[in-house]
Chains A and B, each alone.
Chain A
Amino acid sequence: MITPVGVGRDAVWPALADGRTGITHIEDFDTSKLKTTIAGKCRDFEPEQFFDERELARLDRVSQLAIAATELAIKDARLPESALDSYDTGVVLGTGFGGQRSIEEFCGAYFSNGQGRRSAIAIPKSMYNASSSNIAIRFKTRGPNLTVTTACSSGANAIGQSFHMIRYGHAERVIAGGADAPVTPVVMDAWKEMRVLSTKNDDPGRACKPFSANRDGFVLAEGAGILVLEPLDDAIRRDAHVYAEITGYGATADAAHITFPDPEGEAFAMMRALKDARLSPDHIGYINAHGTATKLNDASETEAIKRVFGNRAYEIPISSTKSMLGHSMGAAGAIEFIVAVLAVEHGKIPPTINYEEPDPQCDLDYVTDGARRFGCQAPLRTAMSNSFGFGGNNAVLVVRELGK
């Protein structure tokens, strides 16, 4: 993973467990006309460590993040060359904004009456499937190559679809996850007009306050989260480090409003994920919430969790790692699923930071006093990761620790 709190699992997990923030002031473009001047930028990511100059010129930042995160994941999974250079290895990547930064550059050139710098690589650099295709080109994965774009649930949908591809025999292994690099002047301005970004610019690290009554919106971020998914037996046979077992995926559409969340669609996605995993609500010991810190999401998500879990909703630790990482759009669902994976593996639940004031609409246990030990209801630690996107897309994943 590449996130605003660090590059790679060994940097990201301790930071999240410690409740460290990755939100800072934006410094790489003029923010004087914006109401929000903070974001989650991956400051520790050094593209030069992964790419030469010519490659950098050909790749939008989103592709750089996606490919670099893939390289980290493949190394970690110790996938042999023969497993990569194969028609049985797929790539499914989620992204909300694709090559947005490049699109803005090329639009700028187009609308500048010939003053701007034209380019022959505008299309291959900015198309939405540039990242997943570049992963295939670099690592020679020849199986199905798909890009999923369902706004903020893209990364979770990508992982869920990959999980089902493997379960139903459409691929032997899939490089799955999400990447987004939407912190650009145009996107920041567009979100500003929707009035959903936090404007607590004075203290960036404390701006994003999921579930707190004084929350005022999300903080935009960039990042990438990539997993290598394969059948459990294969991973054990080749003696790979198996982090956890993905057991359930549920996806629904609210079919209601393009931005306004509907607890019914969200709840149904959670129930479907549980059914897919053949688990009951009693088995879930942690929920990594979508938890954007908008007024609407946090209230709706809380209501949806209550509809699924009934009175048990009050007993389940729920945290929003967006409080530390911000909202990386199409990458968020993937990064947060990896957080849930690490939580079941390490037996530790990362906190929701910046919580200050109780909200009667958000009255569950949001793990607001630092990380917590993963209590175990079921025989195996099991977590749920929620991702809800504009358009009314809901994607829920269930993961459990590896059985002994």
Chain B
Amino acid sequence: MTKEAREAIEDVVKDIVAAELRSERDQLTPTTHLMKDLGADSLDALNIALRLEEAFKIKIPDESIPNFLTIGDIVRGVREHQAQ
């Protein structure tokens, strides 16, 4: 995957996380941790997964959701599920 494609995904992921968690989009980096840095809980994680499924037209299996800890994790996860 090209750098541009990865950045495009990251842009959308940041939009979704910022909107769901009411956080400052500019502050989000690939290492931003949803729980530790942004105070998310498991319900937030489920809602973020729903928004990702809608935005990227993918299906995220339940067992993947607990692995979405950082922005970087989510971007990688989306790429994997897009490839499938």
Binding site for B on A (CB under 8 A): 52-54, 57-58, 118-121, 124
Q: How many whole Å from B32's CB to the nearest CB in chain A?
A: 16
> Interface SS of chain B: helix, strand, loop or mixed?
helix
Query: Which residues does chain A contribute within 8 Å of B43, judged by CB atoms?
Result: 58, 120-121, 124
Contacts of A121 in B (CB 8 A): 43, 47
Cβ-based interface call for B22 (8 A): yes
Give the residues in chain A near B54, CB-CB below 8 Å: 118
A54 close to B46 (CB less than 8 A): no
Chain A residues with CB under 8 Å of B22's CB are 52-54, 57
A21→B43 CA distance, assembly (Å) = 41
Chain B interface (Cβ < 8 Å from any Cβ of A): 21-22, 39, 43, 46-47, 49-50, 54
Residues of A within 8 A of B49 (CB): 120
Contact assessment for B46 and A120 in the assembled complex, using a CB-CB cutoff below 8 Å: yes
Q: Which residue of B lies closest to A53 (CB)?
A: B22
Offer 19 A-B interface pairs, CB within 8 angstroms, sorted by A: A52-B22, A53-B22, A54-B21, A54-B22, A54-B39, A57-B22, A58-B43, A118-B50, A118-B54, A119-B47, A119-B50, A120-B43, A120-B46, A120-B47, A120-B49, A120-B50, A121-B43, A121-B47, A124-B43
* Cβ–Cβ < 8 Å partners of A57 in chain B: 22
> What is the chain B residue whose CB lies nearest that of A124?
B43
Write out the residue numbers on chain B whose beta carbons fall within 8 Å of the beta carbon of A58.
43
Additional A-B contacts beyond A52-B22, A54-B21, A118-B54 (5; CB < 8 A): A54-B22, A54-B39, A57-B22, A58-B43, A120-B50
A55 to B43: give the CA distance in the assembly, Å: 13
- A365: min CB distance to chain B, Å: 53
Contacts of A124 in B (CB 8 A): 43
Could you tell me the distance between the alpha carbons of A52 and B47 in the complex, rounded to whole angstroms? 18
Query: Which residue from chain B places its CB closest to the CB of A56 in the assembled complex?
Result: B22
Chain B residues closer than 8 Å to A53, beta-carbon distance: 22
Q: Which residues of A contact B46 (CB under 8 A)?
A: 120
Q: List, in ascending order, chain A residues with CB within 8 A of B39's CB.
A: 54
- The smallest beta-carbon distance between B15 and chain A, in angstroms, is 15
Min CB gap A109→B, angstroms? 10
A54 to B39, CA, bound (A): 10
Q: Nearest Cβ in chain B — how far from A340, in angstroms? A: 40
